[in-house]
Amino acid sequence: MDIKNVDTPQAHEMSPYHSGDSEYISENGSLTSTSSLQSEYEPNPVKRFFNSFKPYDYSKIDFLLYQDDDLESGGSYDFGPQGSPPATGPSRSPNQEEKKKKSKRLHPQFDYSRLSDLERAAIVTSTSPLSRTLKSRHLSMIALGGAIGTGLFVGMGSALASAGPFGLLIVWVFIGSAIFVTASALSELAVAFPISGAFVTFNTLFIDSSWGFAMAWNYALQWLVTFPLELVSASITIQYWNSPVPPEVFVAIFWFIICAINLFGVRGYGEAECVFSMIKIVAILGFLILSVVLVAGGAPPNHDFIGGKNWHQPVGGMFNTTEPFKNMCAVIFNAAFSFAGVELFGLAAAESANPKKSIPKARKQVFWRLLFFYISSVIMIGLLVSYKNPALLGQTDTNAEVKEKGIDANTSPFVIAVKQAEIPAIPSILNAIIIITVLSVGNSSVYGSSRTMAALGAMKQGPQILNYIDRNGRPIVALLVQFVIGLLAFLVALPGDKTTQVFDWLLAISGLCSLFTWWSICLSHIRFRAALNHQARVAEEELVFTTSVWGSYYGMVILTIFLGLQFWAALFPPGEGGADVEGFFMVYLGGVIVFVCYVGHKIYAALYMGIPLTKFYLKASEIDVDTGRRQVDMEALRQEIADERALYESKPFYFKIYTIFC
C-alpha cells in the first residue's frame, strides 16, 4: 500500500465528540453524520458518568480495518477519497469474514503490517479520538495568559537580585525573541499537522525517533513535577495571612479543584484557563498602570518621585557589580522557568475545533504576552525595586513556616513594590492573584503532561495504556498518572528543611526542559521545510499558514548560545571561585535526563529496531510530509488559500491592520 497516495481522514471525522455535525463516508458509500455515531443517551446520570470512562468505542465507526492473515499473503486495499473504505478490494469468503470478527482490532483506518514506524506514528496521532471542543477564544487565552505563574510573579525577584534591572531585561528580551519565532514555527507545523502530542510528535516524524523519545519524556517530566511544585507554592502562599490551617490542608483542597477541572475534559481545562488568564491579564495590566503612577511620584502620602534612581548607584545599578556577565548567565534558568508553557497552545491543536483559524490567531497573542506581561513587567519592576533590596532574597522575612519550607511569595518583586508604596490592601490582593496564577499553572501542567503521555503511548514510546482514551475524549490513564504524582505535594508536611531539598530537586528536573523543547521545535520546522524543498514543493502554495524558516535558525542559535552560557554559569557559579557539582546538577539535571534518554533509546533502536547507532537524523528524502496532514488534496488546498487571500485583499485597511495584531 502506498501510504503517500492515501488521503488521511480528518481527525475530527473519527471522533463522535467533535463539536459540530461533520460528515464522513460510510462503508456503503453514503454520507453519514457524526452525530449518528454517538451512543444512545443514558438518562441515569450515575450510569452516564461511569459509562464515560469506558474506552472509546471504535466499533461505532463502520470502516474499521482488521488484521487479516489472508491479506498478509498479498491482498491489499485501494483506499478511496477521504479515507473511505475500498471501492474494490480482495474478495472475502465467509471464513475470511469470520476471521475478521475474531481478529485483533487495530487502528481504525489502516493495516499496521503495511506501514513503517513513522507512518504508523503519523496516522495514530493524527486520528486520535481526543475531544475536539477547544474554540478560538480558548486557544487565544491559553496563548495570552496560560502558564503565567510563579516564574513571573515570584521567580523574577531572585533573578533581579542576581542580574540587576538592565541585565535582567537583556536576558528576557533575547529569550522572548527566540520564543516568538519558536511560536511561529510551531503554528505552521500545528496547522498542517494538528496531531496528538504536537511538537512532541514532530520530533519523531521530522528529526529522529530517539531524539523524539528523549524530548517527549523531557516534556512529560517537566509538567509531571510542576504539578506538585505549584500545589506547594499555593499552599505556602496562604501563609502570607498567617493562617493557622496547616499547608497540607490547602494542598488537598487545591489538588481536588485541579483534578475536578481536568475530569471535565479539555473543555473544562479551556474554560478554567479562560477565567484564570483573564484574572492574570487584568492583574498585570493593573500593576503596570500602578507602576507608572508610582514611578512618576503619584503615590500618597509622600508622592516621592522614583524615576530611574534604582538604575543608578548608590541606591541600585543597571547590573550586579559582582561578575555582572556571569550573573546574567545564571538567570537563564529563571527565564526558562518563567516563560515555560508558552508552547501549550500548539499542544492543544489536536483538540481544537478549527486549528487553521485558531492557531495563527493564538500565535499573535504570544507576541502581546511577551511584550506586555514579561518585557513591560521587567522594565517597571526594575524601576520600582532596587536589585540590592534584601527582600528579593527573603532576608527580611519573619514567617518561620515560610522560611522552613523555602517558598516565599514575599520575595515577589510585585509584592515588594506595592509594600514600599505603603498602599493598604494591594499586597493582599497581589498575593491572592499569585495563588490564582499558581492554580492556573497547576491546571496547565495536568493538561500538558497528560496529552504528552497519551502521545507517548500512541507512538509506543511509553506504556501503551497511557493512550487509553475514554468515551468523553479524555486520556484518562495519563490523567490518573498525573493526579498520583501530584500527591507528592503532601511532602510539605515533612518537618525541617526536607521539603526544600525534595522540591529543589524536582525543580531541577523541570528547570531547563523548556529550552530544549523550544530548540527542538525550531529544528523540527527546519527539517520539515528541508523535506518540502527536497520534493521541489513550495510551502506558501500548500500550507494555510507559513512563517520564515530563518526565524527558526535564529531561535536555534539564540537557544544554543543560552544553553551553553547556562552550562558555564551552573558549573562555575558566580561568587564561588570554582566548580560546584551539586549546584550544576540542580540547574542542568534536565539536560542530563535528555542525554540519558537519547542514548538509551539509541541503543535500544540499534538492538531491536535495526537502526544504526551512527544514524542521528532522518534525511530530507526520508521525511514524510503528507501522512497525518489535515488535508493533502493539494488542488483543493491551493484553491482555498487563493480564495482566502482574495477575501483578505478585498477587506478595508483598518481590518488588515487589526488582523496584523489580533
What pLDDT is stored for residue 302 in this prediction? 67
Of 308 and 501, the structure prediction assigns the larger pLDDT to 308
Share above pLDDT 70 across residues of the chain, in percent, rounded to a whole number: 70
**pLDDT for residue 15 is more than 90:** no
Alpha helices in 574-633 (DSSP H): 581-608
- Average pLDDT score over residue span 319-343: 87
Q: Are 377 and 160 in contact (CB under 8 A)?
A: no
Quote the CA–CA distance of 196 and 143 in Å, as a whole number: 18
Residue 529 banded pLDDT, cuts 50, 70, 90? very high
Rounded to the nearest angstrom, the gap between the alpha carbon of residue 478 and the centroid of all alpha carbons in its chain is 15
Q: Cell numbers 483578505 label which residue?
A: 648
- Average pLDDT score over residue span 132-141: 72
Residue 530 banded pLDDT, cuts 50, 70, 90? very high
- Average pLDDT score over residue span 152-167: 86
Of 304 and 104, the structure prediction assigns the larger pLDDT to 304
Quote the CA–CA distance of 309 and 478 in Å, as a whole number: 51
Quote the CA–CA distance of 24 and 38 in Å, as a whole number: 14
Q: What is the pLDDT of residues 220-259, one digit of tens each?
A: 998 998 898 888 888 888 877 777 888 888 889 999 999 9
What pLDDT is stored for residue 397 in this prediction? 52
Cell of residue 68, nine digits: 487479516
Region of 462 (left: φ > 0; alpha: ψ -120 to 50; beta: rest) is beta
Of 344, 345, 438, 372, nearest in space to 149 by CA? 438
Alpha helices in 149-198 (DSSP H): 150-153, 156-192
**Cβ-defined contacts of 550-554 (< 8 Å, 24+):** 551/181, 551/184, 551/185, 552/181, 552/182, 552/185, 552/522, 552/523, 552/525, 552/526, 553/522, 553/526, 554/177, 554/178, 554/181
Sort 424 into a burial class: Cβ within 10 Å, 0-12 / 13-18 / 19+. Answer: exposed
Average pLDDT of every residue of the chain: 75
Furthest-apart CA pair in the chain: how many Å? 93
Comparing 41-45, 295-299, 374-378, the range with the smallest average pLDDT is 41-45
Q: What is the pLDDT of residues 61-110, one digit of tens each?
A: 433 333 333 333 333 333 333 333 333 444 444 454 454 444 444 433 33
What pLDDT is stored for residue 632 in this prediction? 54
**pLDDT for residue 178 is more than 90:** yes
**pLDDT for residue 13 is more than 60:** no
What pLDDT is stored for residue 143 in this prediction? 73
Q: How many CB atoms lie within 10 A of CB 595?
A: 12
Q: What residues form DSSP beta bridges with 25?
A: 31
Quote the CA–CA distance of 102 and 461 in Å, as a whole number: 28
483: which residues sit within 8 A by CB, 6+ positions away?
255, 259, 446
Of 370 and 408, the structure prediction assigns the larger pLDDT to 370
Q: Are 358 and 142 in contact (CB under 8 A)?
A: no
Q: What is the pLDDT of residues 635-651, one digit of tens each?
A: 666 676 677 777 777 77
Sort 650 into a burial class: Cβ within 10 Å, 0-12 / 13-18 / 19+. Answer: exposed
112: which residues sit within 8 A by CB, 6+ positions away?
67, 106, 120
Residue 455 banded pLDDT, cuts 50, 70, 90? confident
What pLDDT is stored for residue 580 in this prediction? 82
What pLDDT is stored for residue 259 in this prediction? 92
Quote the CA–CA distance of 375 and 381 in Å, as a whole number: 10
What pLDDT is stored for residue 150 in this prediction? 75
188: which residues sit within 8 A by CB, 6+ positions away?
525, 539, 543, 545, 546, 547
Crossing angle of helices 247-263 and 426-458, rounded to 10°: 50
Of 281, 343, 279, nearest in space to 139 by CA? 343
Burial 187-211 (b: 16+ CB within 10 A, else e): bbbbbbbbbbbbbbbbbbbbbbbbb
**pLDDT for residue 606 is more than 60:** yes
For the CA atoms of the chain, what is the radius of gyration? 26
Sort 489 into a burial class: Cβ within 10 Å, 0-12 / 13-18 / 19+. Answer: buried
Quote the CA–CA distance of 136 and 131 in Å, as a whole number: 15
Comparing 94-108, 482-496, 545-559, 642-656, the range with the smallest average pLDDT is 94-108
**pLDDT for residue 659 is more than 70:** no
What pLDDT is stored for residue 638 in this prediction? 66
Residue 56 banded pLDDT, cuts 50, 70, 90? low
- Average pLDDT score over residue span 525-536: 92
| Report for 57-71, 427-441, 465-479, 546-560: range of highest mean pLDDT | 546-560
Quote the CA–CA distance of 177 and 180 in Å, as a whole number: 5
What pLDDT is stored for residue 37 in this prediction? 42
- Average pLDDT score over residue span 14-19: 36
Quote the CA–CA distance of 409 and 150 in Å, as a whole number: 9
Residue 622 banded pLDDT, cuts 50, 70, 90? confident
Of 21 and 293, the structure prediction assigns the larger pLDDT to 293
571: which residues sit within 8 A by CB, 6+ positions away?
579, 580, 581, 584, 588
What pLDDT is stored for residue 447 in this prediction? 87
**pLDDT for residue 608 is more than 70:** yes
Comparing 146-150, 264-268, 284-288, 475-479, the range with the smallest average pLDDT is 146-150
Q: Cell numbers 474554540 label which residue?
A: 135
**pLDDT for residue 418 is more than 80:** yes
566: which residues sit within 8 A by CB, 6+ positions away?
329, 330, 332, 333, 512, 515, 587, 588
pTM for the model stands at 0.80
SS3 211: helix
The domains of the chain, with CATH numbers, are: 3-115 (no CATH), 139-631 (1.20.1740.10)
**pLDDT for residue 49 is more than 80:** no
**pLDDT for residue 657 is more than 80:** no
Give one DSSP letter per residue of 191-203, joined into a string: HH---TTTHHHHH
**Cβ-defined contacts of 257-263 (< 8 Å, 24+):** 257/439, 258/227, 258/231, 258/439, 258/442, 258/443, 258/446, 258/486, 259/446, 259/483, 259/486, 261/443, 262/443, 262/446, 262/447, 262/450, 262/479, 263/474, 263/479
